[in-house]
Amino acid sequence: MEESKAMRKLRVCVATCNRADYSKLAPIMFGIKANPDEFELEVVVLGSHLIDDYGNTFRMIEQDDFDIGSKLHTIVRGEDEAAMVESVGLALVKLPDVLHRLRPDVLVVHGDRFDALALATAAALMNIRILHLEGGEVSGTIDDSIRHAISKLAHYHACCTRTAEQHLIAMCEDHTRILLAGCPSYDKLLAAHHRDDYMDIIRNWLGDNVKEDNYIVALQHPVTTDIKNSIKIYELMLDALISFNKRTLVLFPNIDAGSKEMVRVMRKKGVEQHPNFRAVKHVPFEQFIQLVCHAGAMIGNSSCGVREAGAFGTPVINLGSRQTGRETGENVLHVRDADTQNKIYHALELQFGKRYPCSKIYGDGNAVPRILKFLQTIDLDEPLQKTFCFPPVKEWDISQDIDHILETQSALAVDLGGTNLRVAIVSMRGKIVKKYTQANPKTYEARIELILKMCAEAVFDAVHLNCRILGVGIGGGIIQHNELIHGSTFCAAELGHIMVSLDGPECMCGSRGCIEAYASGMALQKEAKRLHDEELLEVEGMVDLKKAESISAIHLINAARLGNRKAEAVLRTAGMALGVGIVNILHMVNPSLVILSGVLAAHYQAPVQQVIDQRALTSAQSIQVLTSDLEEPALLGAASMVLDYTTRRIY
């Protein structure tokens, strides 16, 4: 009997290769284990976890009460380039049997290690879905190539920063399969770095006499693309630390090519016997973050220095090129050409004992819930074959796909105006295929109901008009680098509610002095009615307003055109208010051009230009104000965002 889809648990295999990736994977593993009704967890351990020289760190996984389903000895000793290649080959020989036995729905792989590349390669060839953590980042060594290669093999991505997300999209990964989660290790470190027993941990690793903020944590790894230079930097770092004469915890380097030579340098310098130094192979992550959090400085080239240490404001000296491309907080001082002991020593003098603002570039402490929710959305019935979102290379009219030949790629655009609500079907070429207009209701609920009703009508009509709707765009927003800025609550760019006066007219939003309260069509209609009620609107040459069904902004404009000074004053005030608001916008985003649209644009052009000339900073005074002669620019702009966004990601 086929397993019920409703009762189906997701079989998740987490594979960990070393102490560093376990610190990122462990929070996810705990989260999976805490949800047994949703997930089945399998743990595979390989790589340096199983080597005594690197601390046999698989034991900390067992101490965390995880059942290790498979232990694979995959490291060929030698710590050189050939040994790394042979280790990848050995892993590829051993992994198929394990993956075939476990049959996971999803394999979770972290980062940029050669072991992880073997995992991703094996899983991809065996048709196992892959979730890759920390893709899209840039560090500056061979790790970049490995990381990006894993991203191309992976089916899903949980990345840490907005920049990494944009890199993955630029690499043609499907944006619907990318989660901006933050770094999972931040979930633990942000919750745990205020432990009351941190001094006990510091004394346990560094001795009873050491004080908070008065010791150094050093962790330097080899750079496999420049082993000779990285060993030289390591030697200079140790010399500088010996001269600096502070208590220092030195962690052994990882297993990359060149690590054996680094250990030789460390022993040649007598670090393990030096009274100021404590050299260790491994520190449990929960204790390590306490040591980093309360250190006077961290030095080396570990990703921990440019990622986790920033969350504490710990001063960091980053040596060499291994983390060149990483995003960092202001706590990191880079010594890229660490070619002298004095340069490193001077960096220690500058950084030691400082405290910096805490940075959350890499996470806010909620990565694991996001990742678990993301895993739950994986549809195992979806085709396994990856699709890449390449940019279009052909004109639409020469497409050889029958769907594109027979259908017009289109968007629904919505313009929520003060007076009217408009919806339009807009084609790829900017043609308004059909437009719908209704009076804008007064309440929020009625507006939403009407928008949905009008959009449903347009979608129904689109079928008969042979239009394929790719999405819906609502007018109003700020576009930067072809992307819509959403804001924290998806309400960015309420430009109409920029306040230009503290005691101006009341706005529909409940505030006073908004641009909309001065310069919108409804605001002018309100002023026109006021003048009409006071019998101050009519002038010679105007039609008899007593016969008009309703007074509108057009009547105010006509009165001003015929010399009505009261109407002129209203338009002048509205134009100046709009101009002041636009000056504020110029000072924030510094565009190259201002384009006004709508029936009032021609009346506002001159006063807005005048306010810019008089009140804008020198950098913005040369900006020209133009009026748009496009048909329905708000609708076209909203549609263009949908059409650009979707077509960039379809191919």
pLDDT one-digit tens code per residue, 450-505: 999 999 999 999 888 888 888 888 767 787 777 778 788 877 888 888 898 888 88
User: For position 2, what pLDDT does the model report?
Assistant: 46
**Statement: residue 519 has pLDDT above 70:** yes
Confidence of residue 269 (pLDDT cuts 50, 70, 90): very high
User: For position 193, what pLDDT does the model report?
Assistant: 63
- Average pLDDT score over the chain: 87
Q: Which long-range contacts (CB under 8 A, 24 or more apart) does 70-74 make?
A: 70/44, 70/45, 70/98, 70/101, 70/102, 71/45, 71/46, 72/44, 72/45, 72/46, 72/98, 73/46, 74/46, 74/47, 74/115, 74/118
Dihedral-angle region of residue 215 (phi above 0 means left; psi in -120 to 50 means alpha; beta otherwise): beta
420-427/332-335 β-pairing: unpaired
* Torsion, CA 540, CA 541, CA 547, CA 549, rounded to 10: -110
497 is in an annotated binding site: yes
Phi, psi of 610, deg, nearest 5: -65, -45
Of residues 345 and 494, more confidently modeled: 345
Q: What CATH number does domain 478-647 carry, 3.30.420.40, 3.30.1330.10, 3.40.710.10, 3.40.50.150?
A: 3.30.420.40
Structure tokens at 257: 């090519």
Tell me if 10-183+366-377 shares its fold with 189-351. Answer: yes
| Residue tagged 């919505």 (tokens) | 414
Distance of CA 257 to the CA centre of its chain: 33
Q: What is the pLDDT of residues 357-414, one digit of tens each?
A: 888 888 888 999 999 999 999 999 988 889 888 877 655 444 445 555 556 788 899 9
Q: What is the pLDDT of residues 561-601, one digit of tens each?
A: 888 888 888 888 988 988 898 899 889 888 889 888 877 88
Please report, as a single letter, which amino acid is at residue 332: V
User: For position 244, what pLDDT does the model report?
Assistant: 96
Say how far apart CA 95 and CA 104 lie, in whole Å: 13
User: For position 62, what pLDDT does the model report?
Assistant: 94
User: For position 508, what pLDDT does the model report?
Assistant: 81
Instruction: Please state the CATH superfamily assignment of the domain spanning residues 189-351 in this structure.
Output: Glycogen Phosphorylase B; (3.40.50.2000)
405-465 fold: Nucleotidyltransferase; domain 5 (3.30.420)
Q: Where are the domains of the chain?
A: 10-183+366-377, 189-351, 405-465, 478-647
160 is in an annotated binding site: no
Q: What is the pLDDT of residues 139-171, one digit of tens each?
A: 877 889 999 999 999 999 999 999 999 999 999
- Cβ–Cβ contacts within 10 Å for residue 144, how many? 16
> Integer distance in angstroms from the first to the last C-alpha of the chain?
40
Structure tokens at 89: 């080959």
User: For position 650, what pLDDT does the model report?
Assistant: 43
Class of domain 10-183+366-377: alpha beta
**Statement: residue 45 has pLDDT above 80:** yes
| pLDDT over 90, % of the chain | 46
| C-alpha closest to that of 117 among 78, 87, 157, 72 | 87
The DSSP output letter for 499 is B
Give the predicted TM-score (pTM) of the model. 0.56
CA distances 247 to 131, 203, 290, 335, 505, Å, are 41, 11, 16, 22, 66
SS3 state at 599 = coil
CA distances 366 to 67, 363, 369, Å, are 25, 7, 6
Given a contact cutoff of 8 angstroms between Cβ atoms, the answer to whether 151 and 136 are in contact is: yes
Given a contact cutoff of 8 angstroms between Cβ atoms, the answer to whether 412 and 434 are in contact is: no
Q: What is the pLDDT of residues 102-128, one digit of tens each?
A: 999 999 999 998 999 999 999 999 999
**Statement: residue 37 has pLDDT above 60:** yes
Say how far apart CA 320 and CA 257 lie, in whole Å: 16
